Amino acid sequence: MKTLMVFDFDHTVVDDNSDTWVIKCLPGQTLPDSVKNSYRKGYWTEFMGSVMNYIGDQKVSPETVRSVMVTIPFTAGMTDLLTFILDNKSTIDCIVISDSNTVFIDWILHASGLQAAVDQVFTNPAKFNEVGYMEVQCYHSHDCAHCPVNLCKRRVLEGYLSEQFDRGVEYERVLYAGDGGNDLCPTSCLRGRDVVMPRRGFILEKLLAKLEDDASLSAKVIAWSSGTDILQELKASMQE
């Protein structure tokens, strides 16, 4: 029986938001109000399309975007955690479920040399078109009223667990590490022996605290401040 480690990406694996970090590639490192004000709640991917269109309009090359993106810092202790996962692939599967995009996450993981620690990344598809503009699409459509229109992380996690079960892979324990409001929904499909790990001081921790006596949450809650905290819990859970 394996352990499954599930990560959010922004403010979890990396210590910032990759979608806002990209703005550093602009000459003035800022967006005009016309782009900033185009955001509609729940439609972040659509907004990122506008951001990347603006970056393309400023003639910022894909190579320049990449050179900026790979400077985003990993959260403290996270490279040690990913290295441990990489060294224990026979007993740990690892996935990322993120509202970022395939291009950013692929660049950042490859730059770290730790991309092999992650078995699959579930995020919004992105690519550079023939004129050098990055296009971002929604990951999927869904009918969950609690999640952004482009991504329900619970649906992704349930789908992954079901596919793995069909392949004969069952997990002794699932550890889910995240920080944001969109990390709350997938916690409802975790079991009593699973662990949800909210980042200390971030919104997920506050939302989980409100669910303390709620039957929709079965998993144990353990807050984390660094990748070292998650690593300690991962090691402990493997020894139980």
Q: Give catalytic residues, as residue numbers.
A: 8, 10
Which DSSP string corresponds to the chain?
-EEEEEE--BTTTBSS-HHHHGGGGSTTS---HHHHTT--TT-HHHHHHHHHHHHHHTT--HHHHHHHHTTSPBPTTHHHHHHHHHHTTTTEEEEEEEEEEHHHHHHHHHHHT-GGG-SEEEEE-EEE-TTS-EEE--S-----TTS-TT--HHHHHHHHHHHHHHTT--EEEEEEEE-SGGGSGGGGG--TT-EEEEBTTSHHHHHHHHTTT-TT--SEE--BSSHHHHHHHHHHHHH-
